[in-house]
Amino acid sequence: MPQSTPVDLAEALAAASPGERRRALAQADQLLRQQCSSDGSLALPLDAATAQRRADTAKALADPVRLQLVELLRRQPAEVCQCDLQPLFDVSQPTLSHHLAKLVDAGLIVVDRRGRWAYYSINPEALDDLRSWLS
């Protein structure tokens, strides 16, 4: 039997009824799946909630100031007052607050507000999750 060309197949599909076309396309799909190297055992490695949480973490860390803040807080034995952080960064106080808020929202750091001061520390569970994800 001679091998069909794409033009021959297109003409045959055009002449077929809608039901015949659906059956032919389903057979073609099945043949393509049989040629695939997968044995069907693929599964998503992350559930949607975990993927979203880790994407939020990655977004929060996608800024040099935020990365520096996390590294600085990670190395501190105790919480750090925002008033001590401000002189370390060449950004305005509102901008620093914005970066800190992004890290708090992502769960990477925690804040303890005392009067007009805010004290920040690393969230160890978030670091463990990040470590586990990247290793």
**Topology given in CATH for the domain delimited by 48-134:** Arc Repressor Mutant, subunit A (1.10.10)
- How does strand 80-81 pair with strand 117-122? antiparallel
Higher pLDDT, 17 or 60: 60
In this predicted structure, the answer to whether residue 13 has a pLDDT above a threshold of 80 is no
Q: How crowded is the C-beta side of 113, counted as CA atoms within 13 Å?
A: 6
pTM for this structure? Answer: 0.67
Top mean-pLDDT range of 1-5, 18-22, 47-51: 47-51
In this predicted structure, the answer to whether residue 17 has a pLDDT above a threshold of 70 is yes
Tell me the two tokens of residue 100. 């800190």
| Segment among 44-48, 70-74, 121-125 with least mean pLDDT | 44-48
Domain ranges across the chain = 1-43, 48-134
Contacts of 11 (CB under 8 A, 6+ apart): none
In this predicted structure, the answer to whether residue 1 has a pLDDT above a threshold of 60 is no
